């Protein structure tokens, strides 16, 4: 297995253009309920060449269910912070955390893959100044996260950091 490629938290031109559309309730719903299930099959099948997240860097998170212990897969956009991979538990701005967040909190050892590269990682939730710095970086990558945070109400969207075990 090789490391997931480094991706700085910088929005692409297409990402900035699409952010207002994707950040709508309908756009958030589409990416959580339609694009994610497609990407978790499409990305491995095409070795990451095709994905619903367009030009956003994406990974497939393989994790264990918190209650069932069964293997689960979730496709998410990511960025790098040094050697770490950063994922945001936005859930499209829903008032509930995404299921994958609960699963990683309970079972932090995961596999991340972008279709061509994969590796074993251990996740943790960022907090304090580290969380605030990474949140700002996430919003640079995808400005829609600010809309999701407003929509999520009192739920603070978690920022998860994954460090390589290899």
pLDDT tens for the chain, residues 1 to 166: 456 666 656 666 666 666 776 777 787 777 777 777 777 777 777 776 776 666 678 899 999 999 999 999 999 989 999 999 999 999 999 999 999 999 999 999 999 998 778 899 999 999 999 999 999 999 988 888 999 999 999 999 999 999 999 8
Please give the backbone phi and psi of residue 104, each rounded to the nearest 5 degrees, phi first.
Answer: -70, -35
Q: Reduced to 3 states, what is the DSSP secondary structure of residue 127?
A: coil
Distance CA 163, CA 83 (A): 7
Question: What is the pairing mode between strands 58-64 and 109-113?
Answer: antiparallel
**DSSP run (H or E) holding 135:** helix 128-141
Beta bridge partners of 75: 60
- Residue 32 has a pLDDT of 73
Tell me the CA end-to-end span of the chain in Å, nearest whole number: 9
CB 47 within 8 A of CB 41: no
Q: Reduced to 3 states, what is the DSSP secondary structure of residue 162?
A: strand
> In the chain, what are the domains?
13-164 (2.30.110.10)
pTM: 0.85
Question: What is the pairing mode between strands 71-77 and 58-64?
Answer: antiparallel
CB 125 within 8 A of CB 132: no
């Amino acid at each position: 297995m090789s490391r997931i490629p480094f991706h700085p938290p910088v929005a692409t031109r297409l990402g900035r253009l699409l952010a207002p559309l994707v950040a709508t309730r309908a756009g958030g719903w589409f990416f959580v309920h339609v694009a994610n299930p497609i990407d978790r099959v499409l990305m491995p099948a095409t070795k990451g060449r095709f994905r619903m997240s367009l030009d956003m860097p994406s990974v497939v998170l393989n994790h264990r269910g918190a209650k069932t212990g069964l293997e689960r897969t979730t496709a998410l956009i990511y960025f790098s912070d040094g050697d770490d991979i950063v994922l945001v538990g936005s859930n499209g701005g829903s008032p509930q955390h995404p299921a994958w967040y609960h699963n990683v909190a309970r079972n932090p050892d995961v596999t991340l893959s972008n279709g061509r590269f994969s590796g074993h990682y251990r996740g943790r939730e960022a907090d304090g100044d580290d969380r605030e710095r990474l949140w700002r970086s996430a919003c640079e990558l995808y400005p829609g996260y600010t809309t999701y945070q407003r929509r999520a109400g009192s739920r603070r969207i978690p920022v998860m950091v994954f460090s390589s075990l290899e």
